[in-house]
């Protein structure tokens, strides 16, 4: 079911957005060569506890997950691009790391993701992150009242295809509110002027993710981590965005 939020409810969602942004900022800053993924998860967990927030991940067990997630942040490294389950792995120089985090504050959820390079970057990884960042910005710019979901999808795809990437539509953006994942689905490829009309009060996560040389993914042995089918690296960017009378409002903006 698609729910529209009042302006007052969107204001009530803002603290969750700021908190999610702060956790991503802190974990990204802590992600240095030699730092363990479990250390990043503990940092996020500590911030959740100190803020009196609630994790959206630790007990999360959708149909595509092998078991409850059991951790509080997704850490996807190199050829992993989505749902990376934190494990005993020390980051290495040149790793491409995607962090995806969602939490509930006062009963309202926000969801956001970013990709960074740890240590010495590869030019192709920086280019992939740049494309994904610009695709997110294009999707947000298209999230205007009176437009349709397809306009967001087409804007994301125009950037991705324009830079030579193929696009997977199995996983994409989604509604956000009292829970982490809801309707509508927001694909990362589509046709303009198609799909659900964007009305003020709709709150969605917009999240482009691209892989260097494929659009096919496989599930890791941990039952969660999604990797590229050909071993190429991936990048992932995401913001929670409210559609308002004045245009899109990014609730998870990082400053």
Asked if the bond preceding 184 is cis, omega within 30° of 0, the reply is yes
Cβ pair 145, 245 in contact under 8 A: yes
Compute the Cα dihedral for 22, 72, 252, 90 and give only its sign: positive
Cβ pair 51, 19 in contact under 8 A: yes
Residue 83 among known ligand-binding residues: yes
Cβ pair 151, 142 in contact under 8 A: yes
In DSSP terms, 249 is beta-bridged to 242
Residue 111 among known ligand-binding residues: yes
Q: What is the Cα–Cα distance from 55 to 216, expressed in whole angstroms?
A: 29
Residue 238 among known ligand-binding residues: yes
Side-chain half-sphere exposure of 238, counting CA atoms within 13 A: 33
Could you tell me the end-to-end alpha-carbon distance of the chain, in angstroms, rounded to an integer? Answer: 33
Residue 189 among known ligand-binding residues: no
Helices and strands, number each (H, E), in the chain: 4, 14
Residue 181 among known ligand-binding residues: yes
| Annotated binding-site ranges | 83, 100, 111, 174, 181, 207, 238
| Annotated binding-site ranges for a divalent metal cation | 100, 111, 174, 207, 238
| Annotated binding-site ranges for substrate | 83, 181
């Amino acid at each position: 079911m698609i729910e529209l939020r009042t302006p007052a409810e969107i204001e009530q969602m803002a603290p969750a957005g700021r908190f999610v942004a702060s956790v991503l900022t802190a974990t990204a800053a802590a992600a240095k060569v030699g730092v363990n993924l479990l250390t990043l998860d503990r940092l996020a967990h500590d911030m959740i506890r100190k803020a009196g927030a609630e994790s959206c991940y630790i007990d999360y067990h959708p149909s595509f997950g092998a078991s409850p997630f059991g951790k509080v942040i997704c850490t996807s490294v190199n050829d992993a691009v989505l749902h990376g389950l934190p494990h005993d792995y020390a980051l290495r120089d040149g790793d491409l790391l995607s962090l995806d985090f969602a939490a509930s504050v006062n009963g309202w959820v926000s969801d956001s993701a970013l990709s960074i390079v740890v240590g010495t970057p590869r030019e192709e990884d920086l280019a992939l992150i740049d494309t994904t960042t610009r695709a997110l910005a294009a999707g947000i710019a298209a999230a205007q009242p009176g437009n349709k979901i397809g306009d967001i999808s087409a804007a994301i795809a125009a950037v991705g295809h324009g830079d030579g990437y193929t696009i997977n539509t199995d996983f994409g953006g989604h509604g956000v509110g009292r829970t982490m994942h809801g309707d509508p689905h927001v694909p990362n490829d589509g046709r303009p002027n198609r799909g659900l009309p964007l009305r003020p009060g709709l709150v969605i996560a917009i999240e482009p993710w691209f892989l260097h040389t494929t659009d096919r993914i496989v599930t890791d042995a941990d039952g969660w981590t999604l990797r590229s089918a050909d071993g190429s690296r991936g990048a992932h960017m995401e913001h929670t965005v409210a559609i308002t009378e004045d245009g899109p409002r990014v609730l998870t903006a990082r400053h």
